[in-house]
Amino acid sequence: MSRVYNFSAGPAVLPEEVLNIAANELTEYKTTGQSVMEMSHRSKEYGAIISECEGLLREVMSIPDNYKVLFLQGGASSQFAMIPLNLMNKSKKADFVITGQWAKKAYQEAQRYGECKVIASSADKTFSYIPQLDETSFTKDADYFHICMNNTIYGSRFVDLPETGSVPLVADMSSCILSEPYDVSKFGIIYAGAQKNMGPAGLTVVIIREDLIGNAQDITPTMFNYKTHAENDSMYNTPPTYGIYILKLVLEWVKNKGGLEAMKAINEKKAAILYDFLDSSKMFNATVFGKDRSLMNVPFVTGNEELDSKFVTQAKAAGFINLKGHRSVGGMRASIYNAMPVEGVEKLVEFMKTFEANN
């Protein structure tokens, strides 16, 4: 059986080159006589893997020296608690922009630990845009300012970052990390679940400025304290070893493709192919417009639930899988992460044109 075109929002498609290397090394990594899955995380062999992975991430993302890279577990959702537990330590205040389900969940969780303010929300139009921000409304003494950089479910993204001054900007980049260059120095914390653009589910990457480590609230569990993991080089307990190994392979792939500038160019090309068709179609309609459109997640609808269902069913039969929209939105969604080839998007558009002509 040939591989399908997988448009899943996550766990998502991985580069075939990466999968082939992992397959070849599955039973024996290099000349170690063992699989990476079997290795002690304390071994010299595994130490080299995690060290290379961090080095590659720092190189590819141009991470400054005054930032720690942490390889954690618990998904991005654990960060919704971990961030306020570690950062809500002065004014016990934080600002949030609510642009989708994940931003909302981060806000709701943080309310357990301090005073949270919604600066702006796009809930009035089903999170189909990024709201304009009034900087005069920002909490000047907030412990942090939180955004979700790219909204996986609703297909919108921040193009312009809020100017938060001395307040640390915290960004959930789960669905856009490695898709284009970002100036890491503009953020206090960047966090991301790996299962969209970095590797398999089970690994969470946190990039944190060093001055934000070491002031956790007294109630913070040991495993939720960034200091615990920073002081132990992500080895306080057994890290998600195989996920880190796959991330290393993905980073090698990204580097060999030309780095994040090259990723951005390819991702813009893929997104343009799909959006251009949606904007010209008489049947399919995009749900996000203007500069806020995501390069990674493209939701679209026909306006008819039966037709949507028919499209998803026929698309799956034709080898285009996981196009059903999130249950909270309906319709369809094509997630076109780094590993989705241009050819996959071109063939999807061909299929959509045929479906439109036949229906």
For residues 156 and 285, membership in a common domain is answered with no
**344: which 2 tokens?**
């996959």
Q: Out of 241, 256, 271, pick the residue that ends a domain.
A: 256
Pairing of strands 67-72, 204-209: antiparallel
Total domains in the fold of the chain: 2
Positions in the chain whose pLDDT score sits under 50: none
Active site residues: 102, 172, 196
In a domain, 5, yes or no: no
Whole domain around residue 272: which residue ranges? 260-358
Give the integer Cα–Cα distance in Å for 315 and 324: 10
Give the integer Cα–Cα distance in Å for 272 and 290: 12
Which strands sit side by side in the sheet containing 332-335, from one edge to the other? Answer: 285-286, 297-301, 332-335
Pairing of strands 189-193, 169-172: parallel
Q: The CATH number of the domain where 264 resides is what? A: 3.90.1150.10
Instruction: Work out the angle between the directed axes of helices 241-256 and 16-24 (0-180°, nearest 10).
Output: 130
For residues 217 and 284, membership in a common domain is answered with no
What is the predicted pLDDT for the residue at 329?
80
For residues 171 and 235, membership in a common domain is answered with yes
For residues 272 and 252, membership in a common domain is answered with no
What is the predicted pLDDT for the residue at 1?
54
For residues 165 and 210, membership in a common domain is answered with yes
In a domain, 57, yes or no: yes
Give the integer Cα–Cα distance in Å for 173 and 162: 15
In a domain, 229, yes or no: yes
Q: Out of 223, 256, 289, pick the residue that ends a domain.
A: 256
In a domain, 3, yes or no: no
Task: Please provide residue 109's backbone torsions phi and psi, each rounded to the nearest 5 degrees.
Answer: -70, -40
Do 269 and 344 form a contact (C-beta atoms < 8 A)? Answer: no
Do 53 and 248 form a contact (C-beta atoms < 8 A)? Answer: yes
Residues 6+ apart with CB under 8 A from 73: 202, 203, 204, 239, 240
For residues 212 and 272, membership in a common domain is answered with no
In a domain, 300, yes or no: yes
For residues 111 and 191, membership in a common domain is answered with yes
Q: Out of 202, 223, 256, pick the residue that ends a domain.
A: 256
For residues 148 and 41, membership in a common domain is answered with yes
For residues 176 and 322, membership in a common domain is answered with no
What is the predicted pLDDT for the residue at 328?
76
For residues 196 and 70, membership in a common domain is answered with yes
Question: Could you tell me the CA-to-CA distances from 14 to 195, 289, 340 in Å, in that order?
Answer: 9, 28, 8
